[in-house]
Amino acid sequence: MDHASVSGLEAFVQQFMEKEKVPGLSIGISRNGESIYQRGFGVTDLDTNQPVTPTTIFGIASVTKSFTAVAIMQLVAAGKLSIDDPIGKYLPDLRLKGSISLEQITIHHLLSHTSGVPPLLRREELTRLPEHIEYLSEVPFEPLGVPGEYISYSNDMFLLLGAIIERVTGQGYRTYVTEQLLEPLEMDRSTYSLEEVARFSDVSVPYVNGENQQLKKAEWPTLGNYEVGGGIRSNVVDLLKYGQIYIQAGRYKEKQIADEALLTAMWQPVHRLPQNRWYGYALKTTPDYAGVTLVEHGGGQPGVSSNFGFVPEKGLVVTVLSNLENVPIRNVWLAAVNAGLGLPIAHKQSEAPQYAPIRAELEKLVGTYTSGEGGRLRLFLRGDAPVAEVAGMEYKLRASSHDTLIFVQYDQPLRFFFKEQQHAWAVLLGLRMLCRSE
């Protein structure tokens, strides 16, 4: 990377951290397997002021999902299962209360979050995957639609991939991923185990937003079975190693870790998202970004905002980790990608179009939308202007079409869905479908 790209990126990061009040952040960039930029910014702990380094451990949250997907692809390559297998083949003891049959839901639907099962009440006290199968057999829910029709995070369904890995291999999920991915990739400072995190030095302290936007320290979330979709703690040096398999035909150094064609299948478009992005298998794709493909996944937990991804045509791997929840960390990731590609730091995808809705169109969107997991969004009009209230904060919106509003501050879309009725019945917030609750 040239000097101008580096200084532009670092100025962007400093401004971002000041604006979003981020204590610590780390960036790693590699090209064709060679590290071209690694740097820590800020501090791991506001009390000790210990500086962040490239090896500082952060949570990676849902970036973990792609590790689980790679593990599934390893088992496909070994002939142990097929993506199109119905999940009942491996989990015959699972029963779903909704009107979806286990013969309809395949491994493909779990990987792409298109099972039709909405976000459910989290049960983090469940620590063994068979307990979760019991929970899912008892919890009532209204399906979003038939499998494949809609996309929505359902972490409870995603973790069934961990249960399938256990049934097929006879090993614990955590053990399998550690032995088949973390260890061969020499990710020596990456782990699912909080006991192990406690033994490492150079570990970030997770921060959350407290009263009056004051930062406060948080405990690492224990997660239980949700570790299948969010449990790895890692650092940018290790994640650059992981990124190699995607751009070097499934290889790391001399080792074949996974099958190239099956890894490539992970970022093929399965379900369309707003703003010409697509979801594949635990990875999101932007097919035409300044003439190249962006492949990525983000993550968020108490004390974590993360983004990881790569540009296959350029052999570029980029990862950004931070220790504060709910910050638009993808903006930093995109700035780092731009630096790696030699683009202007502020380059973005083309903005969502401007649309001038009539009041009747906006009134169809007004209401409160919730999920069993606890997500809640209230949409209301202030005058003729749409406003979203999420987690006690209000956000200005603008329209880009009759069914899509954009968060002005973050350029993030809110897509609304209609059936026969006049009013929208659901909204996609990030990757979670929230349903009208009146």
Q: Is residue 286 located within the same domain as residue 339?
A: yes
Q: Is residue 306 located within the same domain as residue 380?
A: no
Boundaries of domain holding 425: 359-436
> What pLDDT shows up at residue 352?
85
> What pLDDT shows up at residue 211?
81
Domain boundary residue among 350, 372, 394? Answer: 350
Q: Which CATH number do you get for residue 332?
A: 3.40.710.10
Q: Is residue 340 located within the same domain as residue 372?
A: no
62-87 pLDDT, tens digit each: 999 999 999 999 999 999 999 999 99
Q: Is residue 304 located within the same domain as residue 218?
A: yes
Q: Which CATH number do you get for residue 406?
A: 2.40.128.50
389-421 pLDDT, tens digit each: 998 889 999 999 999 999 998 888 999 999 887
360, pLDDT greater than 80: yes
> What pLDDT shows up at residue 97?
84
The fraction of the chain above a pLDDT of 70, given in percent, is 100
Report residue 76 as tokens. Answer: 């496909």
Q: Is residue 131 located within the same domain as residue 211?
A: yes
44, pLDDT greater than 90: yes
Confidence of residue 38 (pLDDT cuts 50, 70, 90): very high
Q: What is the pTM of this model?
A: 0.97
Q: Is residue 53 located within the same domain as residue 182?
A: yes
Q: Is residue 145 located within the same domain as residue 219?
A: yes
Q: Is residue 163 located within the same domain as residue 306?
A: yes
Domain boundary residue among 350, 381, 396? Answer: 350
Number of structural domains, the chain? 2
Q: With beta carbons less than 8 A apart as the criterion, state whether 429 and 435 touch.
A: no
Q: Is residue 402 located within the same domain as residue 282?
A: no
Q: Is residue 120 located within the same domain as residue 69?
A: yes
Helical pair 3-20 and 330-341, crossing angle rounded to 10 deg: 170
Q: Is residue 419 located within the same domain as residue 334?
A: no
Q: Is residue 303 located within the same domain as residue 394?
A: no
